[in-house]
Amino acid sequence: MTEAKLPGKENFSEWYHELLKSGEIIDVRYPVKGMCVWYPFGFALRRNVYDLMRELLDPDHQETQFPLLIPETEFMKEAEHIKGFEDEVYWVTHGGTSPLDIKLALRPTSETAIYPIFKLWVRSHADLPLKIYQIVNTFRYETKHTRPLIRLREITSFKEAHTVHASWEEAAEQVEAALTIYAEFYRRLAIPFLFARRPSWDKFPGSDYSIALDTVMPDGRTLQIGTAHLLGTNFATTYGITFENEAGEQEFANQTCYGVSERCIAALISVHGDDRGLVLPWSVAPVQVVIVPILFKDKERTLEVSREIKAKLAEAGTRVAIDESDERPGAKFYKWEMKGVPIRIEIGPRDIEKGVAVLARRDGKKLTVPLDGLLSSIQAEAADLTEAMLTKAQAFLASKVKDCETVEEAREQTAAGVARVGWCGSEECGHWIEDEVGAAVLGEPWRSAEKHERSCIVCGAKTERCALLARQY
Ligand code: ZN
């Protein structure tokens, strides 16, 4: 065997980098730090993931696209927002050799590109609600250690939605609607997560509040994989987004924005992958089924039957490949396992005689099924496999979250997981926790039914509130 072996998943960082290469997701050799190239296979995965996002957004949103460049004059209007991003902005200062009159920012996010136009689009209550999204690249001059798909200077696939509403309450409802969409998105990717209301010092610059989705990576650190922000009238006031209400008066509009980046793919790879490579859910796998004909006698007949199966599956809308190469079956299995293909069909002359095929699932389960009704067997196994992936991932996440009573315990827990501690909610106690535990306050659990009395881990005050603590990517 000459195949390169992946490092074990317990060496998460090495494993992750090697898998991005061996799985042909991302090439990191582009000569600008923090900017990566999608391999065609990785891009096919990206396309399927974002098609799923579009499928969930399109019934209630309209897709659009705004320019990459933002004039300094617009960018600098919202004070808190600038403070949040000024250290990370790339500036275009020249057109050819001539200095520009007004510098242009490469969008680090698009509020300041979109909202001056919203001012023109929103005139009356009849224009509301307005709900748009775009899937674009954004640029941030990251000074921290960059990591492919996780911390990039060019975020290649930022899905950002922006909505405008008549009232604060309607905007708050939209935040919940966005969270429900994201929950469904991640359910279909079989990725479990925690909802947290970010603490005041970590909310989106210029928002009233921010709710985030965090998943737990194999090494116990958390990865933020989505956020939704209630902007209230903060940006509307700055950009003059007003509408005529039913009484004929001008009012400032209320807004929200919410986003998911290619970190969803980092999570997909990290949560499900194993020592043999990618493990992709059926919903987004670029190849859902691979047929490996076992060729030792009756080669022609075996190939003919295999091709017939392929045609039938393709006709039913399955993304299917057939491996007719001369490699040994073992080498073929290895190659397609690395690519995360959910189901492999093995078929040889003896199977054909008996009218059966072997289905091998990416999770190791193997079964023999009749060729009659092969499609429905595959569909049933695909659904079961997705459930099994979600159950396994949920069990892992649950094992990584623990209630802690003392700072010592929380420190130990956050070395490789998430700690839940009593927190009175004060900024002072929050900062103290971050300093003493050496982990970030992700915030208070959101949409969590579980409530009981605790004591603030810092000041001892009785409270029903609590904080999730973790080391973050
Ligand atoms: Zn306290």
List, for residues 300-309, the tens digit of each pLDDT value: 999 999 999 9
- What are 256-265's pLDDT values in tens digits? 999 999 999 9
pLDDT at position 127, please?
97
Q: Are 473 and 223 in contact (CB under 8 A)?
A: yes
**pLDDT per position as a tens digit, 372-396:** 999 999 999 999 999 999 999 999 9
* Cβ atoms < 10 Å from Cβ of 375: 15
How remote is the CA of residue 130 from the centroid of ligand 1, in Å? 40
Ligand 1 geometric centre to CA of 424 (Å): 4
Distance 464 CA to ligand 1 centre (A): 12
- What separation in Å is there between the alpha carbon of 410 and the centre of ligand 1? 15
Ligand 1 centroid distance, CA of 465 (Å): 10
DSSP letter string, 323-343? --SSS-HHHHHHHHHHTT-SE
The DSSP secondary-structure symbol of 472 reads B
pLDDT band for position 3 (cuts 50, 70, 90): low
Global confidence as pTM: 0.96
- Cα(406) to ligand 1 centroid in Å equals 13
> From CA 257, how far away is CA 394, in angstroms rounded?
28
Q: What is the pLDDT of residue 80?
A: 80
**Centroid of ligand 1 to alpha carbon of 229 (angstroms):** 25
Q: How far is the CA of 463 from the centre of ligand 1 (A)?
A: 9
Please state, in angstroms and rounded to a whole number, the distance separating the CA atoms of residues 263 and 155. Answer: 9
CA–CA gap between residue 253 and residue 251 (Å, rounded): 6
Report CA Rg, the chain. Answer: 25
Distance CA 144, CA 150 (A): 11
Q: Residue 311: its pLDDT value, please? A: 98
What mean pLDDT do residues 2-28 have? 91
Distance CA(263)–CA(441), nearest Å, equals 20
Query: 1: closest CA among 274, 336, 330?
Result: 330
Query: Closest Cα partner for 164 from 256, 228, 81, 239?
Result: 256
Neighbours of 311 (CB within 10 A): 12
Length, in residues, of the chain: 473
For ligand 1, a single-atom ion, the residues with CB < 5 A are 424, 429, 456, 458-459
In angstroms, what is the span from residue 472 Cα to ligand 1's centroid?
Answer: 23
- Give me ligand 1 centre to Cα 400, in Å: 24
- 425 Cα to the center of ligand 1, angstroms: 6
pLDDT number for residue 2: 43
Distance, CA of 204 to CA of 155 (rounded, Å): 17
Distance from C-alpha of 68 to C-alpha of 228, rounded to nearest angstrom? 22
Q: Report the mean per-residue pLDDT for the chain.
A: 96
CA-to-CA distance for 1 and 63, rounded, in angstroms?
A: 48
Nearest to 319 by CA among 281, 367, 369, 275: 281
Give 197 Cα–ligand 1 centroid separation in angstroms.
17
Alpha carbon of 210 to ligand 1 centroid (Å): 21
Share of the chain above pLDDT 70, in %: 99
Helix, strand, coil percentages for the chain (3-state, nearest 5): 35, 30, 35
Query: Is the Cα dihedral 364, 365, 370, 371 positive or negative?
Result: negative
Average pLDDT over residues 328-341: 96
Cα 324 to Cα 293: distance, rounded to the nearest angstrom: 7
Is 208 strand, coil or helix? coil
In sequence order, what are the beta bridge partners of 210? 229
The rounded Å distance from CA 200 to ligand 1 centre is: 15
Residues β-bridged to residue 130: 164
pLDDT of residue 4: 61
HEC profile of 259-307: EECCHHHHHHHHHHCECCECCCCCCCCCCCEEEEECCCCCHHHHHHHHH
Output the CA 427–ligand 1 centroid distance in Å. Answer: 8
What mean pLDDT do residues 204-228 have?
Answer: 97
Q: What's the 461 CA to ligand 1 centre distance in angstroms?
A: 6
State whether residue 310 is helix, strand or coil.
helix
Q: How close is the Cα of 162 to the center of ligand 1, in Å?
A: 35
Say how many Å lie between the CA of residue 460 and the centre of ligand 1: 6
Query: How far does residue 423's CA lie from ligand 1's centre (Å)?
Result: 5
Whether the per-residue pLDDT at 1 is higher than 50: the answer is no
Q: Which amino acid is at 433?
A: I
* Conformation bin of residue 465: beta by default, left when phi > 0, alpha when psi is -120 to 50: beta
Calculated CA dihedral for residues 168, 445, 443, 391, nearest 10 degrees: -120
Contact predicate 24/42, CB 8 Å = yes
> In angstroms, what is the span from residue 458 Cα to ligand 1's centroid?
5
Per-residue b/e over 7-22, b at no fewer than 16 CB within 10 Å?
Answer: eebeebeebbebbbbb
CA atoms within 13 A on the CB side of 156: 19
pLDDT in tens, 431-444: 999 999 999 999 99
Model pLDDT, residue 66: 98
| Ligand 1 mean position, distance from CA 226 (Å) | 28
- CA angle 149/154/155 to nearest 5° reads 50
